[in-house]
Structure 1
Amino acid sequence: MKKIVILIFLFGSLLLGKDITLKFLESKPQGVVRDFYIWQFISNDKTTIEEAKRAYDLVANKIPRIQQAMEKKGVPTQMPKDILCKSLEFEKLKDQDGECIAFGLKLSDVLKFSDKDATLVMSKIKSINPALYEQIKILRSKDILNAMLATSAKNFGMIFNGISYSQKLELFAHPISPKKIEVLANQNNVVFNKMLHNIILDPRFGVFKKSLARANITKSDTNTFFLLGINELLQKRDKKALLYFERSQKAAIDPFMRDRALFWRYLITKNKIFLEELSQSQFVDIFSIYANQKIGSVPKYQIVSSFEDISSKNPDFNVKDPFEWQVLRDNIFAINDEKEYAEVLNYFRYEKTLPHLVFFLNRATKYKINYFITPYEKLLSWRDDDEKSMVYAIARQESHLLPALISRSYALGIMQIMPFNVLPFAKEMRIKHIELSDMFDPQTALEFGNYYLNHLKEEFKHPLFVSYAYNGGPGFLRRLLAKNELFLKGRKYEPWLSMELLPYEESRFYGMKVMANYVVYQELFGHQIDLEKFLKQTIIYTKEKK
C-alpha cells in the first residue's frame, strides 16, 4: 500500500511548479481543484477566447464565478451556449431554439409576455423541458395561485423561486387553504421545503404563515419540521411547536439536528427530562454543552485534542498541493477493507498532517469522537488564548484545518480566504508579494484569517456576530442587524430564537457550530465559559415601535 500512496504523491507533484496551461489542465483530474485553476486560466488576459472555451469545456461545476470570467473574455456570440443564452434579452432569446430559451428564460418575465410570445416560447420548450412548460402554463393562467396549488410541490417551489420578490408578495397576500398546503408539503419535496424555509424566515408573508400554522404537516425532513415549529412559535402556538420539534427529532439522522430539536423541547417546557436526555449526547454542539453545564453533569461526548507517537519530520507528500490532496483523499476513500484503511492512516502520523489524520479518522469512527486539534499552533505569535480559540474555532468549521482545501466557491486553505480578499488583505498587512496559492501555506493562511477576524472583532465585538460576518460577509450582517429584528431585548426565547431566524442557512448553522468550537477550545486552553451567559451578551437590540 505504501508504494501506491507514494505513486499518488508523485502524480500530484509532477506539474506543480509549471504555469497554468491548457495541457496542464487537461492532465489533471476532474473536480473543484481543477475548476479553480481553470478559473485562473480563463481570467488571465493572455488566454485567448478559443483557449478559454476549451478550458471551459473541462469545468465540472459551472458556478457564476467561472461563468463571469468567461463573459469577460469576449463578445457574447463566442461564449458557450448556456452563458450566451442567459445573457440575452427576451426579444432576442425568444428567437432562439428551445434549449437556449430554457437556459435563459426568467420566470419573472413570463407574466409580462404577450399571448403571442407566450405561445411561441411554450411551443419551443414543450418537448425539451416539460416542467418549464408546465410552469409557464401556470403563470399564464387566469388564477395563478389556484393553478399553483393544483400542481406538484416541485413545480410550486420552482415557480416561487423564479418570480420576483414583489410578485411573490402580491401572489401570497391571499389566504390559502391549510389543507391544500398540507397536500403539497406532505410530498416532502426538497424544492418546496426550501421555499417553506425561506417564507418562515422572512419577516413578511404573514397571511401565508398563518395558513401554514393551521396546517398539520406529517411527512417532511428534520429541518423543515423544525422550522415549522419556529413558525408556530412566531404565531404564539407553543403547543403546536412542540409537536413539530418532536417530529424533527424523530426524523433527524444528523446528531446536531437531533440535539437541536430536543433542546427546543426543553426550552419550551423547561422539562428537565429533555435536558437530561440531551446531556447524554455523544456529539459536541451548543445544545449538548448547554445541557451539561445546566445540570452540572460530566459530558458523555469524547474530546480528543492530542495524539501520541507523532513525528516532527516532514511527511511523504506536499500538504500545500491541492491536487495531491484530492487524489490522495479519493484513493483512500476508495479503500473498503477496514484493516487496510487503518494501516494507511499511519502515514499521516506527522505534526504537519494531523488534520489529514483526523479527517480520515472521522470516517473510521463515524464521527463518534470529537477531535479538537491545534496544528500549526507554533507558527504564529498569538496575542492571547481568546484570539487563538477564535481562529481554531473558525478553521475547524471552515476546512477541518486542511491546508490545501478549495471550496466550490473557490475559498482557499485552512481559513477559506476568498480570492478577491487576498490582495486587499495583503496590502493592509503590508505584504508585498502574494499569490492565491500562498493560501495553501498553513502559516500564511492562519495569519490572513487571524487578521480578518481581528478586523471583524473591532466592529461586531461578540464572537457569534464575528462568526456570522466571517461566513456571510460584514455587509450582510451589518444590514441584517440594522433592521432591529434579531437579538431583541425582552423577546421570549432569546437569543436562541434569533439564532434560528437568521435568513441565510449556511451562516445560521455556521454560527452555532463555531460557538461550540470556541467554547471547547477555550476550555482546552484553560478557560471556562458559561455558554448561556455568553450567548445572552448578544441581546443588545430593541424592536422599534411602528
Structure 2
Amino acid sequence: MGLLIKFSLFLTFLVIPLWASVPSYENLKAAPKGLVKDYYIYRFAKENRASKAQLKKLRTQIYRYQGSIKTLFDKKLGVIKQKVTDCSKYNLSNIHKANATCQNMLLSISFMNSLKPEQRSALAKRLKNTNSKFYNFVQGFSKDDPLGYYIKIGDTTGYFKHYFSAQDKDKFLNTHKLSSLLIVNSINHWQFKTIIQESVIGKKNDEFRRSLLKVNPDKLSGDMAFLFGLNAILFHQEDKAVKFFEVAAMKSKFASNKDNANFWIYLITKNKNLLKEIANSADINIYSLYAREFSSNEKIKIAVPKPATKELLKYDYTDPFTWQRTREKVANMPSSELISYASRFYTQSTLGEYSYIMQKAHNYKIHFFPMPFMEHIGTDDIKRQALILALARQESRFVPSAISTSYALGMMQFMPFLAVDIAAKLGISKFDIDDMFKPQIAYKFANFHLDYLEKYLYNPIFIAYAYNGGIGFTKRMLLRGDLFSRKSEYSKYEPFLSMDLVPYAESRVYAKKVLANYIIYLAVLGKSTKISHFLNNTLIPELSDGFRDKISF
C-alpha cells in the first residue's frame, strides 16, 4: 500500500470537575445562538446556581432543544406545553370541512366502528367530494376486511392506522402480507422506513421481509434499494439482490454508497470490471481500498499538509465560539474566496480548520489527512498513532474545540461523564471539562481510553465500534453469534454482510470510515498494511477480540 500513497499537496509546505470556564448569565444571553451556547447553557443550568427566571430566559435561546439539555430543563422548569390543534368544533356532520390534522385526530378506528353503515357511507361521500386523503380509510369500513382493502389498493392511511393500533406490531407485520402497491406508496413514510430498517438489520419479521422481494427496484430510492438488496441476500435471492443493488448504485448521492452497492454486485457476480471501477473511485473508503489490492496500481492522491508556521496569531483554537464563527463564515462564503481564506489557517495549530475549509473549497474531491499536534500524541507506537489519527479525523476533523449535538468535546469527542471519569483515574486535579479542547489533553485521554478498549478488542474495526457505540454494545453484538462468524450461512459474504448489519446505524458507518482512515495513516507513517488483513481477522476471535470463544484453526 505504501507505493499506492501519493502525497500530492503541501508536503513542503475521584476528581470533581470545576466550572470556572462557564460564561456568566449576562455573557450567555449575549452569546450567539448555536450548539456552543447550548453546551454552556447546559453547564450553567446543571450547576444549580441559576434562578428559575434565568433558566426561563435561557430556555428561549436554546438552539437545539433535544437530548440532555431538554431533559435537564424539563426537570427544572417543567415540560413545555405543546400547542394542540383545537378540533372541538368538528363532529360527524362537518368533519369533511376540517383540516388534515383534525381529520386524522377524529377519524380513529374506534370512531369508525361506532358509526352505523349509512353514517359511514354518507361520510365517505362528503370526504370524496373534498378530496380528503381519508376517503379510502372511511370507505374501507364498508368492506368485509378493511385492512385487506387498504393493502390491496395501496392506501397508506388506513394501513398505518391499523398498524399503530396493533398491540403486537411484529405479529401484525408478519400476519398481513403487503401488496407491492402498498409498499411503493409507503416508501416515503417515515415509520415505514424505520420498520424496514429494523426488520432487515435485525433479521426479523420474516414474512414481512419476504413481501419486499416482489417490489420493482426502480420504484425505490437509493438507500431503500440498498436495504432491499441486503434483505434479498438474507433470503439467498442473489439475482434479486443484484437488481436492488444496481438501483442503489445508480441512485446513490454519495460515492461511498455507490461503491458499497457496486461492491455487493461484485461479491455476487464476481465481475472484475466492477472491482476496477470501485478501485478507481474518487472516494477513499473500505471498498475502494479493498478493490485496489486486486485491480489497480494507481496511486491514491491525498493531501498531507505540513506548514512551517506554528500558530495563527489572535486565533484561539481552543475556544468553541471562535470555531463556530469560523464555520458559519465558511458556510456562507463563495467558493471563489475559500482557498484564499483557508490559507490564513495554514499553520501547525490550525491544520484541522485549514483542511476543513480546503476540502469544502475543492468540493471534497481532494482528501486531506492532516496530522496536527503530533508532539502531544503521547506514543511512539505507529499503530496507536494511526488509530488515534483515524479516530480524530472522523470524530472532529481535528478541530480542537469541536462540540457535537450530544456535547461530546474536543478532537477526540469525549462525553463529559467519560472525561471526568478518566481525569479521576489519571489523578488530574482541578480538571475542567473544557480542558478537552486542549489537544494535549484530548490525545492523553484517547491513549488512556484505547488502552482500556484494547484489553478486549484487537481489531481497529471493533475498536471503532466500541469508541463510538460503547464497549457494552460491541460485546453484545459479537456475542450474538450470527455476526462476524465463519460458521454463518452467509460466510461467503463475510465480513461485509455483518458490517452492513451492525445494529447501531451511526457505528455501522463510523467504523468503515475509521478503518479507511487507519489504512491511509498507517501508510503515511510508513507502515503500509492491506485492508483485507483487518477485514479477514474480524472472523477470527483469536485475532480480533477477547469476548468470543476461541476457534481452533
Same fold by TM-score, threshold 0.5 exceeded?
Answer: yes
The corresponding residue for 1:108 is: none
CA contact (8 A) 1:135 1:159 kept: no
Give the SS at the match of 1:214.
Answer: coil
Inter-CA distance 153–511: structure 2 relative to 1 (3 Å threshold) = farther
The corresponding residue for 2:399 is: 402
Determine whether 1:359 maps to 2:356: yes
The corresponding residue for 2:329 is: 331
In 2, the alpha carbon distance for the partners of 1:135 and 1:416 equals 47
Inter-CA distance 195–173: structure 2 relative to 1 (3 Å threshold) = closer
The corresponding residue for 1:28 is: 31
Inter-CA distance 138–32: structure 2 relative to 1 (3 Å threshold) = farther
CA contact (8 A) 2:109 2:161 kept: no
In 2, the alpha carbon distance for the partners of 1:424 and 1:278 equals 43
Inter-CA distance 408–534: structure 2 relative to 1 (3 Å threshold) = same
Cα offset for 1:156? 6.4
Determine whether 1:276 maps to 2:257: no
The corresponding residue for 2:6 is: none
In 1, the alpha carbon distance for the partners of 2:446 and 2:188 equals 40
Inter-CA distance 18–466: structure 2 relative to 1 (3 Å threshold) = closer
Inter-CA distance 182–128: structure 2 relative to 1 (3 Å threshold) = closer
Inter-CA distance 368–163: structure 2 relative to 1 (3 Å threshold) = farther
Cα offset for 1:230? 0.5
CA contact (8 A) 2:201 2:501 kept: yes
Structure 2: gaps spanning 5 or more residues: 1-18, 114-140, 542-547
Inter-CA distance 128–506: structure 2 relative to 1 (3 Å threshold) = same
Cα offset for 1:130? 4.3
In 1, the alpha carbon distance for the partners of 2:109 and 2:526 equals 64
Aligned pairs for 1:276-295 (under 5 A) are 276-295=276-295
Q: Find 1:459's aligned residue among 441, 456, 476.
A: 456
Determine whether 1:133 maps to 2:101: no
The corresponding residue for 2:506 is: 506
In 2, the alpha carbon distance for the partners of 1:159 and 1:54 equals 43
The corresponding residue for 1:205 is: 205
Cα offset for 1:450? 2.2
Aligned pairs for 1:164-203 (under 5 A) are 167-185=168-186, 187-203=187-203
Determine whether 1:228 maps to 2:200: no
Higher relative contact order (CA 8 A, sep 6+): 2
CA contact (8 A) 2:245 2:261 kept: yes
Structure 1: gaps spanning 5 or more residues: 1-15, 83-96, 102-118
Partner amino acid, structure 2, of 1:254: F
**What is the number of equivalent residue pairs in this alignment?**
484
Determine whether 1:302 maps to 2:305: no
Give the SS at the match of 2:218.
Answer: coil
TM-score (norm 2): 0.80
Partner amino acid, structure 1, of 2:534: F
Aligned pairs for 1:251-266 (under 5 A) are 251-266=251-266
Determine whether 1:374 maps to 2:371: yes
Determine whether 1:414 maps to 2:414: no
405-414 vs 450-459, greater mean Cα deviation: 450-459
385-394 vs 136-145, greater mean Cα deviation: 136-145
Inter-CA distance 337–464: structure 2 relative to 1 (3 Å threshold) = closer
The corresponding residue for 1:98 is: 84
Q: Deviations over 1:106-161 (max 9, x none)?
A: xxxxxxxxxxxxx9xxx9xx86944862795499879785587477659967986x
Q: Deviations over 1:423-464 (max 9, x none)?
A: 111112221221121111111112112221221111122111
Moved over 4 A (4+): 16-19, 134-160
Determine whether 1:319 maps to 2:291: no
In 2, the alpha carbon distance for the partners of 1:399 and 1:485 equals 33
CA contact (8 A) 2:155 2:182 kept: no
CA contact (8 A) 2:217 2:243 kept: no
CA contact (8 A) 1:33 1:322 kept: yes
In 2, the alpha carbon distance for the partners of 1:158 and 1:258 equals 35
312-321 vs 135-144, greater mean Cα deviation: 135-144
Inter-CA distance 312–158: structure 2 relative to 1 (3 Å threshold) = farther
Give the SS at the match of 1:458.
Answer: coil
Cα offset for 1:195? 2.9
CA contact (8 A) 2:407 2:416 kept: yes
In 1, the alpha carbon distance for the partners of 2:149 and 2:43 equals 46
351-360 vs 418-427, greater mean Cα deviation: 418-427
Cα offset for 1:315? 3.2
The corresponding residue for 1:63 is: 66
In 1, the alpha carbon distance for the partners of 2:460 and 2:86 equals 47
Aligned pairs for 1:383-398 (under 5 A) are 383-398=380-395
Inter-CA distance 459–155: structure 2 relative to 1 (3 Å threshold) = farther
The corresponding residue for 2:341 is: 344
In 2, the alpha carbon distance for the partners of 1:435 and 1:158 equals 50
Give the SS at the match of 1:133.
Answer: helix
Determine whether 1:531 maps to 2:517: no
In 2, the alpha carbon distance for the partners of 1:209 and 1:413 equals 42
In 1, the alpha carbon distance for the partners of 2:484 and 2:463 equals 14
In 1, the alpha carbon distance for the partners of 2:199 and 2:380 equals 43
CA contact (8 A) 1:174 1:207 kept: yes
- What is the identity percentage for the equivalent residue pairs of Structure 1 and Structure 2? 29
Give the SS at the match of 1:306.
Answer: coil
In 1, the alpha carbon distance for the partners of 2:382 and 2:309 equals 26
Q: Larger Cα Rg: Structure 1 or Structure 2?
A: 2
Cα offset for 1:350? 0.9
310-319 vs 510-519, greater mean Cα deviation: 310-319
Give the SS at the match of 1:198.
Answer: helix
Inter-CA distance 168–460: structure 2 relative to 1 (3 Å threshold) = farther
CA contact (8 A) 2:401 2:411 kept: yes
The corresponding residue for 1:517 is: 517
In 2, the alpha carbon distance for the partners of 1:148 and 1:520 equals 53
Partner amino acid, structure 2, of 1:64: G
In 1, the alpha carbon distance for the partners of 2:296 and 2:526 equals 18
Cα offset for 1:50? 2.5
In 1, the alpha carbon distance for the partners of 2:351 and 2:373 equals 9
Partner amino acid, structure 2, of 1:431: I
Determine whether 1:37 maps to 2:40: yes
Give the SS at the match of 1:432.
Answer: coil
Cα offset for 1:354? 0.9
Cα offset for 1:492? 2.5
Partner amino acid, structure 2, of 1:417: F
Provide the alpha-carbon RMSD of the alignment. 3.0
Give the SS at the match of 1:224.
Answer: helix
In 1, the alpha carbon distance for the partners of 2:266 and 2:362 equals 29
TM-score (norm 1): 0.81
Give the SS at the match of 1:284.
Answer: coil
CA contact (8 A) 1:154 1:189 kept: no
Inter-CA distance 100–319: structure 2 relative to 1 (3 Å threshold) = farther
389-398 vs 289-298, greater mean Cα deviation: 289-298
